[in-house]
Structure 1
Amino acid sequence: MDIEVIKKLIQKYQVGHSDFMAKAEVARRYYENETDILFPPSKEEREKKEKPLRNADNRIPFNFHGMLVDQKAAYMFTAPPIFDLGEKEENKKLSKFLGDKYAKICKDLCIEASNCTVGWLHVWKDGKGVWKYAVVPAEQVIPIWTKSLEKELLGVFRYYQDIDEETGDAYTIYEYWNETECAAYRLKAGDEIGQLMPHQMFLVDPSLCEYSNTYRHGVGEVPFFPFFNNNKDTNDLKNIKPLIDTYCKVFSGFVNDLEDIQEVIFILTNYGGADLGQFLRDLKDYKAIQIDNDGDGDHSGVSTLTIELPVEAREKLLDITRKCIFEQGMGIDPDPQNFGNSSGVALQFLYSLIEQKAGLQETEFKTGFGSFIRCICRLCDISIKDDTIVQTWTRTSVKNDQELAQIASQSKGVISDETIVDHHPWVEDPEKEMEMIQKEESEVEEISQMFPKNEPIDDPDGGGGDD
């Protein structure tokens, strides 16, 4: 692609992406328990200096956002989605390609989407000609969409920082990917976008050590697949950030008050000592101090200043704020009193909010996985029966296993054994479990054929007697 067109595209889309990066950075900070309480604005710093009696400055963050995001990721992807292409052999080929890292990829995509509104999965061919896939940080991806209602992906800029090993100069690398090729450019740190230059980073001829700034990736489409957090294009922090900030401020302020009131303030009237140092020494050594008295009506003496803390009000505010955080964040408060010995219906009600949130993300992720799996099947020559991919999603939650097992045993003869096995709480792979059941039944049948039951022998004499 013409470098002048690349420059215009970068100038057009970079501005909007900067706002996206700022929001993503805040969400990542909160996910790592670095809330705003740790970074007070300058106005609060000025107010602090105007309060000489306030010495304590504890800033205590609470990682509610990280807890809610990890809770959703574990709920949705501890058991990652299973794809059925219609044929067992084709399913095995797909599972072999996805490999052991597939579960981690799903979890990373969920966390990326929860923090950045979208996660990106990238497909490419390595130097050995093997197809690979990985999650790309959302901050590195600038998508270019069509203006149609279907909103198709026209191209993707992937940009990141790099160091020239020969000169030690810092550069920003821009890779532009479309449906046929990838073109690389780089911009030296501090330069304007007009100074963008082609970057010869792709080895096209190993024998001649010839490099180029473009290469054909052979995917047949833009090899980036979006996984959106929800249909509103928002992250999981937006609804709960003010509540988390309130909780951190109230709790930290309470701790500061408790620390400040431990320093007793003495009020001295007509103190007869030389200075305050002597007052403290007399109080420590003799448990007494000298007071000048002018006679009747004199109020000479020592008193202390005490501060009354609104403990009950703060506890109530913290309880309300915590409840609102889990309601607005659509999660489950891990407080043990919320569980107890709950039945299946009660547990389902407890998981109702997180199920709604997970359902919104599942709808978006199904589209992303559908496009990704179809692309992989095309590249790896894996057939899809009737062009239909069946996705099976499993939730991981606290369950009453005894109740589920009883329901499964009582369903024998009412529904098929395969359905019972599929919903049994101890079964992780229904297909493998059915194979084991069939194997056990066949072994029992072989043993019964080897040792048939003896038929009763008729006694012609009609009596038992000795032989």
Structure 2
Amino acid sequence: MDLETVKKLIKKYIPGHENFISRVQTAERYYLNDNDILHIKHSEDEKPLRNADNRIPSNFHGLLVDQKSAYMFTSPPLFDVGNKSANEKISNILGSRYTKICSRLAINASNAGVGWIHYWDNDGFKYDVIDSKQVIPIWSDTLEHELTACFRTYQELDDNGDTYHVYEYWTDKECSVFRKKIGDGLERLEMYNMFNVYDVETNGTVCNVYSHNFGRVPFIPFFNNGFHRDDLTPIKGLIDTYDKTYSGFINDLEDIQEIIFVLSGYEGESLSEFLTQLKKYKTIKLDSEDGASGGLSTLTIDIPVEAREKMLQMTRKSIFEQGKGIDPDPQNFGNSSGTALKYLYSLLELKAGMAEMEFRSGFEELIKAICDYSGIACENVTQTWTRTSVSNDTELADIAQKSVGVISQRTIIERHPFVEDADKEMERIAEEKDDSDDIMGGHNERVLEEEEQ
């Protein structure tokens, strides 16, 4: 990729990406409970009678995102390509970090509308989650909407202490890298030689181009839903309303403890003298020297408690409805039956199902990339997804007991709430049966011997 072409592409795609970064940063702030309520600026003349300025953010967005992530990926998807040894090899390549990567993907997709996995060859197949703010996809104009190229942009500090903006341009064949100093214009963009490439003649050289053999752009999108929308947008206004109402309520409670005195006919010289007399003698003299009558009254703040409580309840309910989550209020659970719990999870399941449809295509592309790299024949990838939710174990165990003789023993064991691995449980049952048979066999032998004697 030549320098001038890259400059044109950067001019075309960077402006729109800056708006995307701004939206993602807002969602990430709310995920970390750094809501807008903490950044509102009040003028000194806005509320002259108020002193309290508590700003209490509510982390509803973080709770809803973590709910979805745990619900979908506490038990991450399992893959089957039709060959046991191939499945084991794929599992080894995915590694122990696979569960954590799934969770990070879900969080990134919830905050940005899309999560990204980048894979590369570094003495073996490597993959990891990339910050969504770093990725600028370039899609084809066809109906398939395929990824034809991709920018990865980030900042880097060199050995001289200068900060550069780095642009990696990835295609289905190679990666070209360019950079410019922070603050410089695009005309100062230069090639960035960051790859060590082995060469027979020079025994190694440094260049800005890295060639790969994946045959596709090594970036995989995992969209949050069909509209590629984040989870904050539908509920941000509700969260801001809740923060303002709750913080305002706390401020009123704090301000109500401060009494505002209204004085008339006070013969003292200063307000500090008035406060001193009030504190020391519990009385003050109000009549002035000319005989005019004086008076003392106070101003207090009335708090509409019931209206505030109703407002907070309505807003909280709307947040979980619009955010398609589960309100963890204990009164929503109780001793709920399995049917009631399924209904409680209905909105979360709807949101998770929309994300799963998008994630399935991303995981299939990842598994096929692993298979192509490893030389594994892979036509179909079967995915098994498991949800993690609260369940009524007593009810499930009772159903399992009543199903004996109606369905297979393995199906009962797989569905039993106490069983995590059906294969191991079947082995334990077989071992216990063998031990029981041995005991019964020994007992029968002793009985026969006694009868013969």
Which of the numbers 173, 189, 192 marks the counterpart of 1:199?
Answer: 192
**Alpha-carbon distance, 1:7 to partner:** 1.6
Deviations 1:371-404 (A, max 9, x none): 10111111122333xx221111111111111111
Contact kept in structure 1, 2:120 and 2:127, CA below 8 Å:
yes
Q: Summarize the Cα distance change of 1:433–1:2 in structure 2 as closer, same or farther, 3 Å threshold.
A: farther
> For 1:49, what is the secondary structure of its paired residue?
coil
**1:18 and 1:421 mapped to 2: Cα distance?**
52
**In the TM superposition, what whole-angstrom CA distance separates every residue of 1:267-326 from its partner, at most 9, and x where no partner exists?**
222122222222111111111111217999x75332211221111111110111011101
* Equivalent residues in 2 for 1:157-168, closer than 5 Å: 157-165=151-159, 167-168=160-161
What does residue 319 of structure 1 align with? 313
Counterpart-to-counterpart distance in 1, 2:209 and 2:444: 75
Asked if residue 32 in structure 1 is aligned to residue 32 in structure 2, the reply is: yes
Q: 1:148 aligns with which of 129, 142, 163?
A: 142
CA distance in 1, matches of 2:168, 2:229: 26
Q: What do the CA deviations read for 1:132-160 (whole angstroms, capped 9, x no partner)?
A: 11000000000111111111110111111
Structure 1 segments unaligned to the other structure (5+ residues): 461-466
Task: Give the aligned residue type for 2:196.
Answer: L
Q: Is 1:337 the equivalent of 2:322?
A: no
Question: Is 1:78 matched with 2:74?
Answer: yes
87-96 vs 346-355, greater mean Cα deviation: 87-96
What is the letter of the counterpart of residue 107 of structure 1?
S
- What's the offset of the Cα at 1:177? 1.1
Which of 113, 116, 120 aligns to 1:124? It is 120
What percentage of residue pairs aligned between the two structures are identical? 54
Change (3 A) 1:440 1:8: farther
Alpha-carbon distance in 1 for matches of 2:17, 2:161? 28
* Paired amino acid for 2:4: E
Aligned positions of 1:377-388 closer than 5 A:
377-384=371-378, 387-388=379-380
Q: Once superposed, what is the RMSD of the aligned Cα atoms?
A: 2.3
**In the alignment, structure 1 residue 252 sits paired with structure 2 residue 247:** yes
Q: How many residues align?
A: 451
- Cα separation, 2, equivalents of 1:78 and 1:209: 45
Instruction: Tell me which of 253, 256, 262 is aligned to 1:261.
Output: 256
Shift, 1:370, TM fit? 0.6
Question: Aligned pair 1:230/2:225, yes or no?
Answer: yes
| Code of the aligned partner of 2:181 | K
CA–CA distance in structure 1, aligned partners of residues 148 and 290 of structure 2: 95
**Partner residue of 1:402?**
394
How do residues 395-434 of structure 1 correspond to structure 2 at under 5 angstroms? 395-434=387-426
**Shift in CA distance, 173/295, structure 1 to aligned 2, threshold 3 Å:** closer
Task: Please state if 1:185 is matched with 2:178.
Answer: yes
Alignment partner of 2:148: what SS? Answer: strand
Residue identity matched to 2:163? A
Find the aligned partners of 2:252 and 2:97 in 1 and give their Cα distance: 49
Q: Is the 8 A contact 1:94 1:382 kept in 2?
A: no
Alignment of 1:164-175 (within 5 A): 164-165=158-159, 167-175=160-168
Report the Cα distance in structure 2 between the residues aligned to 1:459 and 1:396, rounded to whole angstroms.
Answer: 58
CA–CA separation in structure 2 for the residues paired with 1:272 and 1:405? 83
Change (3 A) 1:52 1:397: same
Q: In the alignment, which of 264, 274, 280 is matched to residue 285 of structure 1?
A: 280
Contact 2:268 2:274 in 1 (8 A): yes
Describe the shift of the 1:175–1:272 C-alpha distance in structure 2 as closer, same or farther (beyond 3 A): same
Go from structure 1 to structure 2 and tell me whether the alpha carbon gap of 1:284 and 1:452 turns closer, same or farther (over 3 Å shift). Answer: same
1:367 lines up with 2:358 in the alignment: no
2: distance between equivalents of 1:458 and 1:51?
101
AA in 1 matched with 2:27: A
Q: TM-score if structure 2 supplies the norm length?
A: 0.94
* In 2, Cα distance between equivalents of 1:85 and 1:299: 96
1:180, CA displacement in angstroms? 1.2
Q: State the SS of the aligned residue for 2:324.
A: coil
After superposing the two structures, state which structure 1 stretch, 108-117 or 173-182, moved more. 173-182
Aligned residue in 2 for 1:110: 106
Aligned partners of 1:200 and 1:212 also within 8 Å: yes
Shift of 1:36: 0.5
On the 8 A contact 2:267/2:288 being kept in 1, the answer is no
Closer/same/farther in 2, CA of residues 181 and 447 from structure 1, 3 Å limit: farther
- 5 Å-filtered alignment, 1:433-444, equals 433-444=425-436
* Segment drifting more, 280-289 vs 331-340: 280-289
Measure how far apart 1:457 and its partner are. 9.6
Residues 284-303 of structure 1: matches in 2 within 5 Å? 284-292=279-287, 300-303=294-297
* Aligned equivalent of 1:66: 62
Q: Deviations over 1:29-72 (max 9, x none)?
A: 0000011101115xxx23x4243212211111110000000011
8 Å contact kept, 1:269–1:300: yes
Residues 140 and 158 in structure 1, CA contact (< 8 A), matched pair in contact too: yes
Rounded Cα–Cα distance in structure 2 between residues aligned with 1:374 and 1:175: 24
Q: Please give the alpha-carbon distance, in whole angstroms, between the structure 2 residues aligned to 1:451 and 1:194.
A: 93
Task: Tell me the alpha carbon deviations over residues 12-43 of structure 1, each in whole angstroms, 9 at most, x when there is no partner.
Answer: 111221111111010000000011101115xx
Query: Deviation of residue 441 (structure 1)?
Result: 4.0
> Does structure 1 residue 94 correspond to structure 2 residue 90?
yes
Which SS does the other structure have where 2:262 is aligned? strand
1-structure distance, mates of 2:385, 2:430:
26
Task: Tell me the distance in 2 between the aligned counterparts of 1:28 and 1:434.
Answer: 45
Question: Residue 216 of structure 1: which of 205, 211, 216 is its match?
Answer: 211
Determine if contact 1:261/1:306 at 8 Å carries over to the other structure: yes
The structural deviation recorded for 1:87 is 2.2
Paired residue secondary structure (1:363): helix
The answer for the alignment partner of 1:463 in structure 2 is: none
TM-aligned CA deviation for residue 251 of structure 1: 0.9
Q: Could you tell me how far apart the structure 1 residues matched to 2:405 and 2:65 are? A: 42
Give the Cα separation in 1 of the matches to 2:212 and 2:279: 81
